[in-house]
Structure 1
Amino acid sequence: MQKRDGPEKVTPMLTYYVLDGSIYQAPQLCNVFAARVGRALYHISKAFTTAASKLEKIGFVDVENENTAPESKVTKETIDFKELKRLDHILASMQRKLPPAPPPPPFPEGYTPPTAEGEKSSENQQAVAQPPVDPIIDQGPSKRRKF
């Protein structure tokens, strides 16, 4: 499928391919990347969840987190003004040397950014989370024409 911008200018919009007599629509590249990254993040998250549950079973306790909570209320870190000035000077010189960061590129046409899942509780997210569907691998049943 294509969009005609002028008498000699054509912009391709969709791509199709034929495999064993069946016609398939090729997925958009941004959807392929989103699915692959989503699948990788799902498996990484699942690995960390599994590792954490196994650590709980063997009785591992994070000693640093338990000890620092009460101490942080009692002790306060002193601020060294020379160090603060030095850090401000370094940051100001770096800001003068480097140009400002460019704005992020716009999303491709037709792409919808994923919804914020940070609002859900982690327990509900782990129970409901499923690996995303890969648009290349999971095409569904073949679309053969009936003669």
Structure 2
Amino acid sequence: MNPGRLGLAPLVQENPLWISWHDSNWIPVLNPGNVMDYFSEKSNPFYDRTCNNEIVRMQRQSLELLNNMTGVEYIPLHVQDPILYVIRKQHRHSPTEATPMADYYIIAGTVYQAPDLASVFNSRILSTVHHLQTAFDEASSYSRYHPSKGYSWDFSSNKAIAEKTKTQTKKEAPVKEEPSSIFQRQRVDMLLGDLLRKFPLPLPQMTNNSAGANPSEASNAAANHSSGTGESDHVGADSTLIKQEPTEAGVGRGSSNDAPPEKKMKL
């Protein structure tokens, strides 16, 4: 004898948030007038057979009597014909007091149980923790440690990441710049010319310190300069005059009369 066929085997209670129910025969004719009859079908796992609705239904009485009864009952909470219906399960204590227990919504003929706030938070937190744990496990699998180098990453074992890295390296190769056109070059030359006319470059000024000095001081400076140890090397006609530092002897003879040597601009 098979106890499962006689219904003697214990049934595992499934989470109502994971299941749904529908009856294809009712879907074409479903409307606000018969939605409670559709919800009270025997095959609907969300319907409690011990509720007050079932008692009133078996006695063929009006659902208005539910307000005068105490216990579990189902009422239509919201109707958005023809696709959405919301039904509430509640425990009535008095004609004016009832405690909500669960909400069910029917979309396109399929019945679902609406999750409560605690179930939503629990599901989101579990999903977040799962993805974080997966990410940490994946990252730790690529971590390497060397006594002299410390920690490092090694993605060579993952072909997808290695290929992606190679592709990015190829994309980052320097791109050759396109040559400029004749119009661009002419335009740049014209703009540079306008800037030079508006803001001309300052001309270098010739500095001649001996011109403003007295003739006697200039002659003394020339004599001291010729008799001193300063020597200049002339390389060609366009070479510049190199300034020589005065020796200790020249400084001792009186540096107040010595004038600085002339500075010639190199052409």
Q: TM-score range by the shorter chain?
A: 0.3 to 0.5
Q: Of the two, which has the highest radius of gyration?
A: 2
> What is the TM-score of this pair, normalised by structure 2?
0.21
> What is the TM-score of this pair, normalised by structure 1?
0.37
Could you say which structure has the greater relative contact order, defined with CA pairs below 8 angstroms and 6 or more residues apart? Answer: 1
**Higher strand fraction (1 or 2):** 2
**Higher helix fraction (1 or 2):** 1
